[in-house]
Amino acid sequence: MVRFLIRRVLLGAFVMFVVTIVVFLIFFVGPGRADVAQTLAGREATPKTVALISHRLLLDRPLTTQYWHFLDGLLHGNLGYSYYHGQAVTTVLKEAYPITLSLALGAAVLWLVIGVLSGVLSAVRSRSIWDRIVTVLALFFYSMPSFVLGLLLLYVFYYQFALHGIHLFPGAGYTYLTANPLKWFEGLVLPWITLALVSAAAYTRLTRGSMLDVLNEDYVRTARSKGLSENRVIYRHALRSALTPVISQFGIDLGVLAGGAVITETVFGMPGLGYTAVNAIRDQDLPVIIGIVIVASASVVVANIVVDVFYAVLDPRVRLH
Amino acid sequence: MSMSPSDSVAIEDALVASGVPPPEGAAASVIEGRSPWRLAYERLRRDRASLIALAVVVVIILVAIFAPVIASLTGHGVYQQFRDTGLTPDGLPVGPNHQFLLGTDDQGRDILVRIAYGARISLIVGVVATAAEVVLGTVLGLAAGYFGKVVDTVIARIIDIVLSIPFLLFAISLVSISHPSLTIVIVVIAIFGWAAVARVVRGQVLSLREKEYIEAARALGAGPWRIMFIDILPNIVAPIIVYATLLIPVTIVIEASLSYLGVGVPPPTADWGTMISGAQQIYQQAWWYLLFPSLALLITTVAFNIFGDGLRDALDPRAEQLYK
């Protein structure tokens, strides 16, 4: 198990290494070396200023030197400073992270409950009217782009409600949990629902398929013929193994989300990692973009490791590979 | 799609081997010589939801092709701004009326015409990017699955890495450093999208590689390319077609998302994502500006998904068994 863990962590480190190379190539080599210095110096900078900045950023050195410098800063937790606010990128990340996390965790709990329950209902009552309703709803929300759902929810539950004097949910923004827990909750309800409904649909389909597979297994028939109650067979025996693919998908999705729910945050104007990244891209604020891309990749890598380890604990065969 | 008799036999063998009961009238079908494709087609023809979805898809394609006709019927150009009739005296969009059937946008342009032109972008990106992903993914997946060893290790690692990259963040970064254009959007989607296809193909190839008929082909002296593309590929075409169909709506949503975030196809090109993004600023005064492009996008993705599901049920006998 320890060897498996070490191998998995090493692989994760390798992925992160590749990510830093890709990020470096995209941002430091892609647009041409002069562009970075020019952007930094501003439009009215003299060629001399540009050359100076270029020199200070090591842009006139060979690529490998530049890359090691970049990696060195990264490993020391130094991600540079935002061009616009003069803030350290780490500070920007620290401010945005709790917002993204509040959004991601709340939505994740919602969609897991909705997705798994509806999937089980659909599989157990296969071919019934419930199965049909669930399948149709799942297909509908599975096809729904999150920004469409978010904006339609805003139109109905923010704007139409406000027209009728009901001010239940804010239209945009984020209140810190520590500042006002009630406002924090109110502000998150619509984003949670948006993210949860769109994601739950995939889980409904996954759970249904996996549950139908498992219900055909011999050990389920054995459990039934032992005289166990149907509920016990379904929830204790079948669901348990049907959940394995669901859990692994869940880990990966949560990892991606922890790197910023780009669309949902943009729709609801929540300054989490995703929205900050979109704004940074609009402003060409390179250090901030790089910081967010790296944090986001790291959270996916960590989520992958956690999922694999979890899998290995559940199913010893995995460790052999 | 034509298949050689030996391939049909191989698939039927595979069906028998996987314990799928032969479909009704199977004995008769052997005598009539109905191919698996024929059987799938007949299954699909009985599936009403898929047929309706297919009809909707066809309508959307027609709208995209004949967008200029719609423009000339209404007499409104796609970039034409109607500052007098298309905007209120306060400069706000006007709602649906007899002149502008679906209302106008914030610049006094006809939303109906722009939705029709927007369908072109969605479909072009949806089809071209998906095709690129599928070709790239299939070739690499075949190579990984068939050659195994080092080739497989390298390709499988690359697949892992691509799949563990936060796609949307990388995509918007990549698009932002190059000047946004239709081509860039398609290339970026393809760069990140092939890995999922490759993983599916690789899995299929790994199981087919050990079959006797592949061993027979090798014994007859067939080279790796012949085995991969002539012997293996035809047997995994069905899942690839299903996967590609289901990938189209995903790709369309990604394109719309990039445009919504302002890094897709640049304005003034008519694009559903861009329209929805513009509508977000003034949806309180102009619900039609938000609603109609959203509906266009939603109807398209739902139609493709229903049709893709139907295709899967028709082509994949195992799924049929599950649905019995």
Q: Which comes out higher in pLDDT, residue B58 or A2? A: B58
Do residues A224 and A302 make contact, with C-beta atoms less than 8 angstroms apart? no
CB-based contacts of A206: which residues, under 8 Å, 6+ apart?
A115, A119, A245, A246, A249
- pLDDT for the residue B2: 42
Of A310-314, B184-188, B191-195, the range with the lowest mean pLDDT is A310-314
Instruction: Give A276→chain B minimum CA distance, Å.
Output: 11
- At B179, which amino acid appears? H
Alpha-carbon span B186 to B171, nearest angstrom: 11
- pLDDT for the residue B321: 42
CB-based contacts of B252: which residues, under 8 Å, 6+ apart?
B122, B123, B125, B126, B297, B300, B301, B304
- pLDDT for the residue B210: 83
Reported as a single tens digit per residue, the pLDDT across B20-49 is 454 554 454 456 677 777 888 888 888 888
Average pLDDT over residues B6-31: 49
Q: At B76, is the pLDDT very low, low, confident or very high (cuts 50, 70, 90)?
A: confident
Judging contacts by C-beta atoms under 8 Å, the chain A residues touching residue B196 are none
From the CA atom positions of chain B, what is the Rg in Å?
A: 24
- pLDDT for the residue B81: 80
- pLDDT for the residue A30: 60
Average pLDDT over residues B166-180: 80
- pLDDT for the residue B223: 85
User: With 0-12 CB in 10 A as exposed, 13-18 as middle and 19+ as buried, what is A5?
Assistant: middle
Q: Which comes out higher in pLDDT, residue B1 or A194? A: A194
Phi/psi at B93 (nearest 5 deg)?
-65, 150
Q: Is the pLDDT of residue B320 over 50?
A: no
Chain B within 8 Å of A133 (Cβ-Cβ)?
no
Residues 273-292 of chain B whose Cβ lies under 8 A from any Cβ of chain A: 276, 279-280, 283-284, 287, 290
Of A119-123, B11-15, B136-140, B142-146, the range with the lowest mean pLDDT is B11-15
Neighbours of A110 (CB within 10 A): 17
Alpha-carbon span B196 to B186, nearest angstrom: 16
- pLDDT for the residue B117: 93
Chain A within 8 Å of B253 (Cβ-Cβ)?
yes
Instruction: Give B222→chain A minimum CA distance, Å.
Output: 31
Instruction: Give B276→chain A minimum CA distance, Å.
Output: 8
Alpha-carbon span B275 to B255, nearest angstrom: 13
Residue contact A155–B172, C-beta within 8 A: no
Q: At B61, is the pLDDT very low, low, confident or very high (cuts 50, 70, 90)?
A: very high
% of residues, chain B, pLDDT over 90: 28
Which range has the top average pLDDT, A48-57, A71-80, B86-95, B132-141? Answer: B132-141
Q: Is the pLDDT of residue B324 over 50?
A: no
Residue contact B165–A263, C-beta within 8 A: no
- pLDDT for the residue B319: 52
- pLDDT for the residue B302: 93
| pTM for the full predicted model | 0.84
Judging contacts by C-beta atoms under 8 Å, the chain B residues touching residue A143 are 249, 298, 301-302, 304-305
Judging contacts by C-beta atoms under 8 Å, the chain A residues touching residue B262 are 278, 282
Judging contacts by C-beta atoms under 8 Å, the chain A residues touching residue B260 are 147, 263, 266
Of A33-37, A247-251, B131-135, B300-304, the range with the lowest mean pLDDT is A33-37
Do residues B80 and B100 make contact, with C-beta atoms less than 8 angstroms apart? no
From the CA atom positions of chain A, what is the Rg in Å?
A: 24
Alpha carbon A255 to its chain centroid, in Å, reads 5
User: With a cut of 50, which residues of chain A have pLDDT below it?
Assistant: 32-33, 321
